[in-house]
C-alpha cells in the first residue's frame, strides 16, 4: 500500500527536479483533533501516508506540494472507534480509500515564521479549497551528506463540507462530535536522490 501511495504522490507532484523532496514517514505525522461532547478533545492520526514537494532552501520557495493519506489507517487508540471512523458514517474508507491535499504555490517561507499555503483537500470524493498555516523549521545536512528540511502545517476544516455529517444530539444540549476538525501535519523530508539511496 505504501508503495502505491508513493507512486500516486509522484504523479501528483509532476516531474521531479533536483529540489524535489519526499516525506520521511518515520519523522513525520498527519494528525487531527476533534471536540467530543463539546467538553474534551480527542486526538487521532493516520498511520500510512506519503508526500512530496519542490523546495529551494536557499531561496525559501515552496511549491508543488502533495500529501496522500490512507483513510483506513486512521488511529485514535480505540479500535471500536477507529472501525466506526472507517465506516460510511465518517471516512467511508472502502469507497474512498485515499485523502489528498495538493497545493501548487509557490510561496516563500522564512524559518520559524508562519505563511499561508492555499491548496485543495479531497476527502470522500469532495474537493474543497483550504489554507494551511505553514512554518518552515529549517534545513540540515545529514551525517551521510543528504539534505533534510522540516515543516509544520495546521488548518481547521468543517467536516460537513465533505459530507461527513454523522452526529448525535446530547440531552443537555450540543452534539456528540464537533463539526470543526483541526488538522496538524509535521513533515521531515529528504531530497529525492538521497531518499532513494
194: part of which helix (H) or strand (E)? helix 192-195
pLDDT of residue 25: 96
What whole-number distance in Å separates Cα of residue 78 and Cα of residue 31?
15
SS3 107: strand
Buried b (16+ CB within 10 A) or exposed e, 43-55: ebbbebbbbbbbb
Q: How far is CA 189 from the centre of its chain?
A: 14
Decide: 101 and 121 in contact? Cβ < 8 Å: yes
Q: What is the pLDDT along the chain (197 residues), one digit of tens a residue?
A: 544 444 344 444 444 344 899 999 999 999 999 999 888 999 999 999 999 999 998 899 999 999 999 999 999 999 999 999 999 999 999 999 999 999 998 999 999 999 999 999 999 999 999 999 999 999 998 888 788 999 999 999 999 999 999 999 887 878 889 999 999 999 999 998 755 54
- The yes or no reply on domain 2-195 and CATH 3.20.20.100 is no
pLDDT of residue 194: 54
What whole-number distance in Å separates Cα of residue 134 and Cα of residue 152?
6
Here the cell at position 183 is 488538522
Q: What is the pTM of this model?
A: 0.85
- Of 186, 194, 154, nearest to 27 (Cα)? 186
H helices of 117-195, in order, are: 192-195
Name residues whose C-beta falls within 8 Å of residue 161's C-beta, 6 or more positions apart in sequence.
126, 128
pLDDT of residue 105: 87
Here the cell at position 41 is 478533545
Amino acid at each position: 500500500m505504501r508503495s502505491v501511495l508513493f507512486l500516486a504522490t509522484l504523479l501528483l507532484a509532476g516531474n521531479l527536479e533536483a529540489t524535489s523532496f519526499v516525506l520521511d514517514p518515520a519523522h513525520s505525522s498527519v494528525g487531527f483533533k476533534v471536540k467530543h461532547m463539546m467538553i474534551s478533545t480527542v486526538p487521532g492520526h493516520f498511520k500510512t501516508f506519503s508526500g512530496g514537494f519542490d523546495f529551494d532552501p536557499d531561496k525559501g520557495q515552496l511549491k508543488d506540494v502533495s500529501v496522500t493519506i490512507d483513510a483506513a489507517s486512521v488511529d485514535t487508540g480505540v479500535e471500536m472507534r477507529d472501525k466506526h471512523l472507517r465506516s460510511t458514517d465518517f471516512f467511508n474508507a472502502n469507497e474512498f480509500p485515499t485523502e489528498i491535499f495538493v497545493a501548487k504555490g509557490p510561496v516563500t517561507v522564512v524559518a520559524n515564521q508562519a505563511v499561508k499555503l492555499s491548496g485543495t483537500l479531497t476527502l470522500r470524493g469532495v474537493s474543497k479549497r483550504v489554507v494551511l498555516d505553514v512554518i518552515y523549521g529549517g534545513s540540515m545536512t545529514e551525517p551521510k551528506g543528504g539534505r533534510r528540511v522540516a515543516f509544520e502545517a495546521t488548518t481547521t476544516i468543517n467536516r460537513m463540507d465533505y459530507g461527513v455529517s454523522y452526529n448525535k444530539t446530547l440531552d443537555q444540549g450540543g452534539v456528540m462530535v464537533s463539526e470543526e476538525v483541526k488538522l496538524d501535519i509535521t513533515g521531515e523530508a529528504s531530497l529525492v536522490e538521497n531518499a532513494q539511496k
